[in-house]
């Protein structure tokens, strides 16, 4: 008995080991995917249309609706089926801008590099005002400025020393960087601090918007968080229909901001002229673009590929996240060109509202896969959903059991170097096998670490297998992220061709596998309320 048990155990172990080593790789299909993706790529044509022709795609702007319609048309042209625009919301006010000039008139005349923050009003033609330095860090600071802001442009940030750059302007992940990522990283338990800060910031912004309008201030200026003439910016004002949008608010190039700050420190009078034109929209609908390659014998099971279609407004939304969108579209174009007949349905989701808190992806997850109750904490009701604590328990819908994987791409233009499993150790050996054909292209790292900040988090948060690829940084964090330099020229063709090929192959392998991908246990309420992952809004 004992011996046969040992024998059985040994056989099982051997068998299991064989299975373990044998995650199937469809090498011939990989060859075809590589051929189509490398020699017949359309990824840059897709990206060029999104950036040069459609331009920045802020959620709630007419350009994003145009992008929804164009991506749907393109996917249908390539033969994808069941294409539609999936409406969600309400999102609140829409916004776009069409003009932004800021000049210094005194003590000397010069144009300044400046762009308006989203959801702030324009100036109704050129207006002039006097710059003053103002330090408002809490609602208590407002009182000292009462009665003194009429006709003023408030410089609200401290000036910042421009130091020699510590980071290379353009960098790839080194073998050491990748090796470090493979090591397990214990959760810090430090979640929550960013949430507290974000709520404080939002409350102050609401009070300030009302205060500045009442006091007759002309505008607010902030310093760009990047230097070298890079304008990096997000939103101020408000997209909530019942809230004040405040006064015009713009970001100045760090070097220009510092210049004016130094003049103000020397008690020089600084007169500015602003001419900012922006538009609000009350009745625009927001959509995700959805289309699919129908499956065959497992058609009711789904492999989902996605990226956010929306962007900020300073550049043309190239690397955040036109690149991810173009790669996802190219991956399914490749598969369509090869006339694959996947077992599972391969679906594409191009999300809106990512930059405001993963809103489009969250709406999609809630509609199709799982929901969680709203926070019941009374003090949290004044905040938008992504700034409230998570509700429990998670209620799953039938399709929750049928999503094999969600693959997301949203870290700029860098090629794929590997993938994060989000702590799903069981899936690691599957991904290692699927990456084998792309070792020569630099993609071979599988890490069980988590990465946050983008749409796969919406899936992971309800126990669905949502994954984000590891990408080379390139100039994402030094130059392009949320900046005026997020334009087509900063996208790297060869990187995007590589990423498209890897994405197409992952989609194919997930769709052809006998089983769904292994999952983590569904999240349960932790002993103390945890909070959501960090999102992109600033
Ligand atoms: Zn992004």
Per-residue pLDDT at 374 = 86
Per-residue pLDDT at 385 = 84
The Å distance, Cα 411 to ligand 1 centre, comes to 6
The vertex-324 CA angle with 322 and 328, nearest 5°, equals: 115
Per-residue pLDDT at 536 = 42
388 pLDDT above the threshold of 50: yes
468 pLDDT above the threshold of 60: yes
The Å distance, Cα 537 to ligand 1 centre, comes to 10
* DSSP label of 415: P
For residues 436 and 439, give the distance between their C-alpha atoms in angstroms, rounded to a whole number: 6
Report whether 95 contacts 56 (CB < 8 A).
Answer: no
Per-residue pLDDT at 194 = 84
The Å distance, Cα 154 to ligand 1 centre, comes to 30
Q: Which residue has the higher pLDDT, 386 or 25?
A: 25
pLDDT above 70 covers a percentage of the chain that reads: 93
315 pLDDT above the threshold of 90: yes
Supply the DSSP string of 440-476, one letter for each residue: GGT--EEE-----SSTHHHHHTTT--EEEEEE--BTI
The Å distance, Cα 115 to ligand 1 centre, comes to 20
Residue reference for tokens 């994808």: 80
The Å distance, Cα 323 to ligand 1 centre, comes to 10
The vertex-118 CA angle with 210 and 203, nearest 5°, equals: 40
For residues 358 and 387, give the distance between their C-alpha atoms in angstroms, rounded to a whole number: 12
What would the pLDDT profile of 23-36 be if each residue is shown by its tens digit? 999 999 999 999 99
Per-residue pLDDT at 534 = 44
Out of 8-22, 216-230, 233-247, least confident range: 8-22
The Å distance, Cα 159 to ligand 1 centre, comes to 28
* DSSP label of 9: H
Per-residue pLDDT at 526 = 79
For residues 483 and 476, give the distance between their C-alpha atoms in angstroms, rounded to a whole number: 10
The Å distance, Cα 316 to ligand 1 centre, comes to 13
Handedness of CA 277, 206, 366, 324 (dihedral sign): positive
Q: Is the peptide bond before 491 cis (omega within 30 degrees of 0)?
A: no
The Å distance, Cα 331 to ligand 1 centre, comes to 19
Report whether 409 contacts 491 (CB < 8 A).
Answer: no
Pairing of strands 466-471, 445-447: unpaired
The Å distance, Cα 167 to ligand 1 centre, comes to 21
For residues 327 and 323, give the distance between their C-alpha atoms in angstroms, rounded to a whole number: 6
> In a 10 Å sphere around its CB, with 0-12 CB exposed, 13-18 middle and 19+ buried, how is residue 89 labelled?
middle
For residues 104 and 153, give the distance between their C-alpha atoms in angstroms, rounded to a whole number: 12
Structure tokens at 306: 């996605």
Q: Where on the phi/psi map is residue 247: left (φ > 0), alpha (ψ -120 to 50), or beta? A: beta
For residues 149 and 167, give the distance between their C-alpha atoms in angstroms, rounded to a whole number: 40
Mean pLDDT of 373-388: 88
The Å distance, Cα 314 to ligand 1 centre, comes to 14
Structure tokens at 373: 């109750």
Out of 94-108, 179-193, 313-327, 485-499, least confident range: 179-193
Per-residue pLDDT at 95 = 98
- Where residue 190 falls among pLDDT bands split at 50, 70, 90? low
In the predicted model, what is the mean pLDDT of the chain? Answer: 93
* DSSP label of 284: -
376 pLDDT above the threshold of 60: yes
Mean pLDDT of 385-403: 93
Q: Which residue has the higher pLDDT, 356 or 12?
A: 356
Torsion of CA 462, 411, 87, 50, to 10 degrees: -170
Out of 84-98, 153-167, 177-191, 309-323, least confident range: 177-191
For residues 200 and 193, give the distance between their C-alpha atoms in angstroms, rounded to a whole number: 11
The Å distance, Cα 275 to ligand 1 centre, comes to 30
The Å distance, Cα 141 to ligand 1 centre, comes to 34
The Å distance, Cα 401 to ligand 1 centre, comes to 28
Residues with CB under 5 A from ligand 1 (ion): 320-321, 410
The Å distance, Cα 51 to ligand 1 centre, comes to 14
The Å distance, Cα 452 to ligand 1 centre, comes to 11
Per-residue pLDDT at 19 = 47
Report whether 95 contacts 278 (CB < 8 A).
Answer: yes
The Å distance, Cα 107 to ligand 1 centre, comes to 40
381 pLDDT above the threshold of 50: yes
| CB within 8 Å of 43: residues ≥ 6 apart | 326, 327, 329, 330, 493, 496, 497, 500
Mean pLDDT of 445-450: 96
Q: What is the SS3 assignment for 199?
A: helix
| CB within 8 Å of 438: residues ≥ 6 apart | 416, 444, 498, 501, 502, 505
Q: What is the SS3 assignment for 300?
A: strand
Nearest alpha carbon to residue 210 among 261, 279, 136, 275: 136
For residues 433 and 214, give the distance between their C-alpha atoms in angstroms, rounded to a whole number: 63
The Å distance, Cα 224 to ligand 1 centre, comes to 19
The Å distance, Cα 307 to ligand 1 centre, comes to 8
The Å distance, Cα 467 to ligand 1 centre, comes to 15
């Amino acid at each position: 008995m004992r011996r046969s048990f040992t024998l059985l155990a040994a056989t099982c172990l051997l068998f299991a080991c064989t299975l373990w080593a044998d995650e199937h790789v469809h090498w011939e299909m990989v060859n075809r995917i590589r051929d189509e993706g490398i020699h017949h790529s359309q990824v840059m044509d897709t990206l060029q249309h999104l950036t040069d022709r459609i331009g920045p795609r802020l959620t709630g702007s007419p350009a994003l609706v145009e992008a929804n319609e164009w991506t749907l048309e393109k996917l249908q042209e390539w033969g994808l089926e069941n294409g539609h625009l999936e409406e969600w919301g309400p999102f609140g006010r829409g916004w776009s801008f069409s003009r932004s000039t800021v000049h210094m008139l005194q003590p000397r005349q010069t144009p300044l590099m400046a762009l308006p923050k989203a959801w702030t009003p324009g100036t109704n033609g050129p207006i002039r005002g006097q710059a003053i330095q103002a330090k408002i860090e809490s609602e208590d600071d407002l009182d000292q400025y009462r009665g003194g802001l009429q006709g003023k442009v408030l410089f609200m940030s401290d000036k910042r020393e421009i130091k020699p750059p510590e980071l290379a302007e353009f960098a790839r992940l080194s073998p050491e960087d990748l090796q470090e990522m493979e090591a397990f990283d214990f959760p810090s338990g430090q979640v929550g601090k960013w949430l507290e800060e974000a709520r404080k910031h939002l409350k102050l912004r609401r009070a300030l918007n009302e205060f500045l309008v009442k006091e007759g201030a002309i505008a607010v200026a902030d310093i760009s968080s990047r230097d070298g003439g890079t304008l990096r910016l997000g939103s101020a004002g408000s997209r909530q229909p019942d809230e004040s949008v405040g006064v015009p608010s713009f970001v100045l190039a760090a070097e220009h901001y510092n210049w004016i700050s130094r003049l103000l420190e020397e008690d020089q009078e600084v007169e500015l002229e602003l001419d900012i034109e922006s538009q609000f929209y009350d009745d625009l609908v927001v959509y995700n673009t959805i289309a699919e390659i129908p499956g065959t014998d497992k058609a009711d099971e789904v492999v989902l590929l996605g990226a956010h279609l929306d962007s900020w407004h300073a550049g043309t939304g190239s690397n955040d996240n036109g690149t991810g969108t173009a790669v996802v579209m190219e991956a399914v174009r490749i598969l369509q060109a090869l006339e694959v007949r996947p077992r599972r349905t391969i679906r594409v989701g191009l999300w809106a509202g990512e930059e405001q808190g993963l809103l489009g992806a969250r709406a999609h997850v809630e509609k199709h896969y799982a929901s969680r109750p709203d926070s019941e904490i009374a003090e949290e009701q004044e905040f938008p959903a992504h700034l409230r604590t998570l509700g429990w328990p998670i209620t799953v819908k039938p399709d929750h059991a049928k999503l094999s994987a969600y693959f997301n791409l949203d870290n700029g233009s860098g090629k794929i170097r590997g993938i994060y499993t989000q702590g799903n150790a069981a899936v690691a050996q599957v991904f290692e096998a699927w990456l084998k054909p792309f070792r020569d292209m630099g993609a071979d790292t599988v890490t069980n670490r988590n990465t946050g900040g983008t749409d796969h988090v919406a899936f992971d948060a309800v126990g669905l297998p949502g994954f984000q690829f590891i990408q080379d940084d390139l100039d994402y964090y030094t130059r392009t992220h949320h900046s005026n330099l997020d334009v087509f020229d900063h996208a790297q063709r060869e990187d995007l061709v590589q990423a498209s090929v890897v994405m197409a192959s992952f989609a194919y392998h997930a769709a052809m596998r006998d089983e769904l991908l292994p999952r983590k246990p569904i999240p349960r309420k932790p002993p103390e309320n945890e909070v959501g992952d960090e999102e992109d809004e600033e």
